[in-house]
Structure 1
Amino acid sequence: MSRPGAPVSRPGIARRSADISTTFARHLARVRDPLPRRLRTAFTELGPTFVKVGQVIASSPGLFPRDWIDEFSSLRDQVPPFPTALARRTVEEDLGRPLSSIFSSFDTEPLAAASIAQVHGATLLDGRAVVVKVQRPRLAEQVRDELRALLIVCELLERIPQTSVGSPRALAEDFARTLHEEMDFRLEAENMDRMRRLLDTSGIGDCRVPEVHHDLVGRRVLTMERIDGLHFTDVEAMRAEGIDTERLLRLGVQTVVEGVLVHGFFHGDLHAGNLCVLPDGTFVLFDFGIVGRLTESTRTRLATYLMAVTTNDYAAMVRALRSFGSVPRDVDVDELAATIAELYEPFVQGGVVIAQLGELMDTLIRAMVRHRVRMPRELVLLTKQMLYLEGAAATLAPDADLLQEQTLIYSTLMTKYPDLASQIQGAMQRGREMDDAIAAAAAAGRGARSRR
């Protein structure tokens, strides 16, 4: 499989870049249609890589306007399936044995089809119900040149202030890496096992991950237990079962926050298609092709940033961004903190934030654009998950305050994991000491110039 940075033929890139340009030009010319629809139809025609980008847009409320979310949401579950005969052949090739020696039945119609794979229901020879995730044929070859063309587009976006704040080149490189990881289902199986261990270690018993049948996993095939539940957005059905939907929201936030702060590992693609709820209220997570993995130092920096946001500590927010290398050296951090404070002021009453997370992110992005600050890629992935949960809150628990829920969870975790609290306090103290050192150096420089 081609990897990011591997040599790729220039004629292939040139051809695919020309195809992409022509397709975009043709769809954008339909000026009577709204822009999101024109882009969505272009993405659909361009194939798996661009469909995947569209799915990222659809699952990022707060980072994109509502009409974009609504338009691109069709790319989650309206991707045409490929022939079942090809799926059966892929399973046999990857597992190295006839289908009849593995399954007593293999459904002809897929349960779902997406940009990377489709899922078939099946029954093992011992009678256990499973689902089999099968990769689209020739996916690696198709994706290769599209990713290189996408990187070229992102190089152009780096030159536009309004888009450079999101670090498009870094995000495209990260997208290429994660897409290649998504195309190796053996890695997804490992991610599922790791999340199951994390939930067990954290004592989160109300959240499940399907068991993997490791003897039936290959690079292009993933077999797991079948779990059927209520759709995550079907609030009426959940309430009919007596399920506390506000507790579900809190559980989702806890799973992400504890994964980030304590374990440095979290689900990176939350949306309704990757979640279901059992009648007893258990929360089930699917699709671990995209996950967030954090080193200890990155985890501490993210934790420091999150704590600063929930306590309205603008100087600490800037220090945390600076620790990622996101703040240019010539930016006055005090001025940046003052800008954020000024923009946040309408959302704070009596020291309490009354805004939604999406509103705060929009405000922060405006401050970052003004000061040429780039959002760290780790923060983008985390923010996307929290913004999805905030969107879900409108349905599951309209009266819930997601920021307040996060604050309560942080407080609980600081008590549960005292070493983590010490790490965060140490990081914040080092940030203050760095501010003092920078200020002292600046004062010394001014003094030297005045003596001259």
Structure 2
Amino acid sequence: MATQQNSASRRSRRSPVVLPARAIRVGWLLAATATRVAVLWLATRPARHRARFAGKMIDLAVRQINRGGPTFIKMAQLLSTRVDLLPSALCAKLATLHDNVPAMRPKVARRLADKRLGGALDELCTEFDSDAVASGSIACVYRATLRDGSTVAIKVRRARVDRVLRADLALMRTVSRMMALLPAFRSLPVREMVDQLGGAIGAQLDFAREADALRALADNLRELPGVHVPAVRTDVVDPNHTEGILVMEFVPGLIRRSPADLPPAAGPALVSLCLDAVYQMLFQDGLVHNDLHPGNLYFMADGSIVIVDAGFVTRLSAGAKRSFAEFFYAMALGDGERCAEILIETGKRPDSFAVRSFRKEISELVRANSGARSKDFNLLQFSATLFDIQRRHQLYAEPEFVFPILSLLVLEGAIKEFAPDTDFQSKAVPYVLAALADAA
């Protein structure tokens, strides 16, 4: 087994040069942004131009976030899900940000993989394809052949990305604490929001944590025939002792398929299987994959699904799992009053909270959407309206209540594309009832 000393981990945390450098870079971006905001404000001072000013501000924010680098992009991607905290127009723009990062150069990738393995790459592999099969802002994935003839996927963290992310997160936390002192931000949980989202980003640097999550997902879903999570090859590399590299089973044929690529009956069957997996995560296991976009969820030609990349998962507490199950059950029954009660119980509300108004709006929303099939029920619109009501009433949900909704939102596109008639509210009921029975 290839290992590397934990000194690499300690070195990654010591970044005396990175933090000042990032502070200068971020400070320059903030100064440039402030200048452009001033120009925009002067150009749109008449009241009739205020809406235009807001739109220009959002566009400017997105451009500057792109220039800020991977930490800011990932933070913006996560913030785009918090429609309960931010205006929906801003969230929609933030959701368009992607990790458009080219793969590492082949020579750099091979050299870095060998370094992370303590110089043992050639001892482990007869072949290492240094052209990445997947690329992100934190890591790239490569195909390799081991000495025993098996094919594996090797995930290699980019050089110095851990230092940059940690420096950026430290700056964000400092700025958030300053913002929290300003009157304009006192009604928002700015510090908590940055801490929570920063934790989610920082966790993606931890390949040992991801390996644990992959193993747990595979174990939890093993009794669902047709659901496959690539095995972690700890017999090759132990991520607890090797910094910045993860070796997994290689799954061939991971391409994005459309309904036209599959038999007519395959789409509904695949969607049903996906929902079984997600509902089991939400209501039984409590370990939820929050990022099941088409790059992490694959529909296979043989009728199976493959789930990869467990860098962004949520572990639900017993209380959160029960509350989420109760909310779904009340939603299925059209009980808007109970849905409102659960939101109040699990959220952070101001002293001047308008209980009656909040209950009325939530009840009307639930009544309008209860029992709708997928083709008639727009989860994105429902969630946006739900979070808009919460934001206007300054009721802020805990992340462990919001992130599971994200897992369904990400999946909604596949549901509508492959099986628009799916009634995913009814399909959730057996899982919800089982969860409520377990919690009783």
TM category, shorter: 0.7 to 0.9
More helix by share: 1
- Taking structure 1 as the reference length, the TM-score comes to 0.77
Preserved CA contact (<8 Å) 2:109 2:130: no
| SS across alignment from 2:288 | strand
Preserved CA contact (<8 Å) 2:221 2:227: yes
Alignment of 1:234-253 (within 5 A): 234-239=258-263, 244-253=266-275
Preserved CA contact (<8 Å) 2:127 2:145: yes
Deviations 1:392-446 (A, max 9, x none): 222112333xxx31332223552xx3xx33356x5xxxxxxxxxxxxxxxxxxxx
- Letter of the 1:83 counterpart: R
Residue 374 of structure 1 and its aligned partner are, at CA, apart by: 0.5
Aligned residues: 408
Deviations 1:364-398 (A, max 9, x none): 12221232100221122111111111122221123
Residue 64 of structure 1 and its aligned partner are, at CA, apart by: 5.6
In 2, the alpha carbon distance for the partners of 1:408 and 1:386 equals: 13
Partner residue, 1:438: none
In 1, the alpha carbon distance for the partners of 2:198 and 2:16 equals: 14
In 1, the alpha carbon distance for the partners of 2:276 and 2:24 equals: 46
Alignment of 1:69-218 (within 5 A): 71-72=96-97, 75-76=98-99, 78-152=100-174, 154=176, 156=179, 167-200=189-222, 203-214=223-234, 215-216=236-237, 217=239, 218=242
Deviations 1:164-203 (A, max 9, x none): 77x5543321222222221121111111100011002xx2
Preserved CA contact (<8 Å) 1:309 1:317: yes
Residue 142 of structure 1 and its aligned partner are, at CA, apart by: 0.7
In 1, the alpha carbon distance for the partners of 2:265 and 2:31 equals: 50
Selected match of 2:383 from 356, 361, 384? 361
**Aligned pair 1:229/2:249, yes or no?**
no
Partner residue, 1:315: 337
Selected match of 1:373 from 374, 392, 395? 395
- Letter of the 1:210 counterpart: P
- Letter of the 2:253 counterpart: G
Preserved CA contact (<8 Å) 1:229 1:277: no
**Aligned pair 1:220/2:244, yes or no?**
yes
Alignment of 1:243-392 (within 5 A): 244-328=266-350, 330-344=352-366, 346-347=368-369, 355-392=377-414
- Letter of the 1:421 counterpart: L
Deviates more, 1:128-137 or 1:143-152: 143-152
In 2, the alpha carbon distance for the partners of 1:107 and 1:365 equals: 45
Deviations 1:96-129 (A, max 9, x none): 2331101111112212211110111111122211
**Aligned pair 1:15/2:24, yes or no?**
yes
Residue 237 of structure 1 and its aligned partner are, at CA, apart by: 1.5
Residue 19 of structure 1 and its aligned partner are, at CA, apart by: 3.1
| SS across alignment from 1:131 | strand
- Taking structure 2 as the reference length, the TM-score comes to 0.79
Q: Structure 1 residues 333, 383: CA separation in 2 closer, same or farther (over 3 Å shift)?
A: same
Residue 321 of structure 1 and its aligned partner are, at CA, apart by: 2.1
Residue 163 of structure 1 and its aligned partner are, at CA, apart by: 12
In 2, the alpha carbon distance for the partners of 1:204 and 1:147 equals: 38
Deviations 1:36-78 (A, max 9, x none): 7654443333222123235447889999669637842xx24x3
In 2, the alpha carbon distance for the partners of 1:69 and 1:394 equals: 23
| SS across alignment from 2:131 | coil
Deviates more, 1:93-102 or 1:331-340: 331-340
Deviates more, 1:25-34 or 1:148-157: 25-34
**Aligned pair 1:406/2:406, yes or no?**
no
In 2, the alpha carbon distance for the partners of 1:368 and 1:67 equals: 17
Deviates more, 1:111-120 or 1:390-399: 390-399
Q: Structure 1 residues 101, 353: CA separation in 2 closer, same or farther (over 3 Å shift)?
A: closer
**Aligned pair 1:397/2:422, yes or no?**
no
- Letter of the 1:409 counterpart: A
In 2, the alpha carbon distance for the partners of 1:333 and 1:139 equals: 46
Give ranges in structure 1 of 5+ residues lacking alignment.
Answer: 427-452
Residue 133 of structure 1 and its aligned partner are, at CA, apart by: 0.7
